[in-house]
Amino acid sequence: MDMEAAKYIGAGIAMGLGAIGPAIGEGIAASKALEAIGRNPEANGKIAPLMFVAMAITESTGIYSLVIALIILFA
């Protein structure tokens, strides 16, 4: 196996594994936030912004894995 194929496989694995965590984390964050809003609708103004911040932080992990995959491919 040559280096070019290894780079593509490594980048694919980095993105594949790096995307699983944020997807699960964002799903759990949204689920729990919607559950909390369903139990106490008056708290929507406090819960929704915190949910979006948590989802943005969680998504940054996926962006880090994209950066690593790009480094593997082009460096």
Is position 9 within any domain? no
Query: CB–CB of 66/4 below 8 Å?
Result: no
Separation of alpha carbons 54 and 48, rounded Å: 10
Give the pLDDT of residue 1: 72
**CATH, residue 34:** 1.20.20.10
Question: How is residue 15 written in tokens?
Answer: 């993105």
Give the pLDDT of residue 74: 92
Question: How is residue 47 written in tokens?
Answer: 């819960």
Is position 74 within any domain? yes
Is position 30 within any domain? yes
Give the pLDDT of residue 15: 94
Domain with 37 in it: 26-75
Helices (H) and strands (E) counted in the chain, each on its own, are 2, 0
Is position 10 within any domain? no
- pTM equals 0.76
Using 50 as the pLDDT threshold, list the residues of the chain that sit under it: none
Is position 40 within any domain? yes
Is position 68 within any domain? yes
Give the pLDDT of residue 2: 87
Instruction: Name the domain count of the chain.
Output: 1
From the list 61, 37, 38, 39, the residue with the least C-alpha distance to 49 is 37
